[in-house]
Amino acid sequence: MIKAGIIGSTGYAGAEIARLLLKHRDVEIKWLVSRSFAGQNYEDIFRNLFELIEKECTDINIADMAEGVDVIFTATPQGFLQGSLTAGLLEKCRFVDMSADYRIKDVSVYEKWYGMEHHSPELLSEAVYGLTEVNREQIKKTRLLANPGCFTTCSILTAYPLMKEHMIEKDSLVINALSGVSGAGRGAKAANLFCEVNESAKAYGVTSHRHTPEIEEQLGYSYGEKLTVQFTPHLVPMNRGILATETAKLCKEHSYEEVRQVYDRYYKNERFIRVLKKDMCPETRFVEGSNYVDIGFKIDERTGNIILMGALDNLEKGAASQAVQNFNVMFGFDESEGIDDIPMVP
Domain count, the chain: 2
The pLDDT assigned to 183 comes to 87
Check if 57 is active-site. no
pLDDT tens by residue, 326-336: 999 999 999 99
Q: What pLDDT is recorded for position 156? A: 98
Q: What is the pLDDT of residues 34-72, one digit of tens each?
A: 999 999 999 999 999 999 999 999 998 999 999 999 999
Same-domain status, 174 and 142: no
The reply to whether 308 and 201 lie within a common domain is: yes
CATH code of residue 280: 3.30.360.10
* Predicted local distance difference test score (pLDDT) of residue 189: 81
* Cα→Cα distances 228→113, 207, 217, 221, Å: 15, 12, 9, 12
Instruction: Give residue 114's domain range.
Output: 2-147+319-331
d(CA 56, CA 146): 27
pLDDT at 186 over 90: no
Residue from 57, 93, 150, 154 carrying the catalytic annotation: 150
Q: Which of 102, 95, 132, 92 is nearest to 6 (CA)?
A: 95
CA distance 110 to 134: 22
Q: What is the pLDDT of residues 100-152, one digit of tens each?
A: 999 999 999 999 999 999 999 999 999 999 999 999 999 999 999 999 999 99
345 in a structural domain: no
Task: Give pLDDT, residue 185.
Answer: 82
Report whether pLDDT(76) > 90: yes
Domain co-membership, 325 together with 290: no
Is there a domain that residue 340 lies in? no
Decide if pLDDT at 86 tops 90.
Answer: yes
Query: How is residue 184 annotated by DSSP?
Result: G
